[in-house]
Amino acid sequence: MDNLTGRTLWVMRHGRPDVPPNPLLMTKIEFNEYLRQYDLAGLSPDESARLRALYQPYPIPELVLSSDLPRARQTADLFARGADIVVDPLFREIPVWVPDASTWFLDRRWPSEMWWSYLRFAWFYDIPPEGQQLSYARSREALDVIQRHQARVEHLAVVSHSGFLLVTIHQLMKAHRLKGRRLPHIKFGQPTTYRWVR
């Protein structure tokens, strides 16, 4: 699938976690519980089989860096196909939850997309648990880890989460360090291939 010339970086969002669909309407308590279950979930057998087939044409990387959350760790195992894996919580998703406060908005039952929109708003305005500034600072730490490992291997993969990957790759592309898509794929398990600019 890839003609491996130069230093290659694959980045991918974890596979689809094995959680039931959202109810149509949710309270903040129900939504936060959904977020908790999402973080505990791994991959279903069907999703593992799908990813195994998806990754088969890809060259085997020399090393895979992975978030420590189950959905990412299991995806890393499937992409690595026996290669070494370094598991690091630094590569976790941006942590989010709805605060336990009482306001007109927070005390209502909403479609899940309203809660997701609230969390995006909170991130942009640096509302805890991890706003935009903290995410970018953590991403810069992750970039140091990626570049340190990439200095000793030619072909590296990173399995993380959509929000954190978007922040991290954005910084590398803005610094003109990578060639490839402006932003990585955020489909579950879909690798995006980059080449390092020397």
Write down the domain spans for the chain.
8-196
The residue behind tokens 């995806």 is: 75
Name the residue among 5, 13, 84, 19 with its Cα closest to residue 54.
13
With 70 as the cut, is the pLDDT of residue 5 above it?
no
- Region 12-27: mean pLDDT is 94
pTM score: 0.93
**Cβ atoms of 120 and 126 closer than 8 Å:** no
Looking at domain 8-196, its CATH class is: alpha beta
- Region 172-180: mean pLDDT is 93
| pLDDT at site 6 | 72
Torsion from C-alpha of 170, 58, 50, 192, nearest 10 degrees: 10
- Percent pLDDT > 70 in the chain is 97
**Cβ atoms of 9 and 146 closer than 8 Å:** yes
| pLDDT at site 4 | 52
C-alpha distances (whole Å) from 105 to each of 36, 100, 121, 130, 157 are 21, 12, 13, 21, 41
With 90 as the cut, is the pLDDT of residue 132 above it?
yes
pLDDT band at 198 (very low <50, low <70, confident <90, very high): confident
**Cβ atoms of 65 and 88 closer than 8 Å:** yes
Alpha-carbon distance of 98 to 129, in angstroms, equals: 10
- Region 174-182: mean pLDDT is 93
| pLDDT at site 22 | 84
Q: What is the pLDDT of residues 111-124, one digit of tens each?
A: 999 999 999 999 99
- Region 90-117: mean pLDDT is 94
**Cβ atoms of 66 and 72 closer than 8 Å:** yes
Name the residue among 17, 31, 20 with its Cα closest to residue 119.
31
With 60 as the cut, is the pLDDT of residue 158 above it?
yes
Give the chain's mean pLDDT. Answer: 94
| pLDDT at site 42 | 98
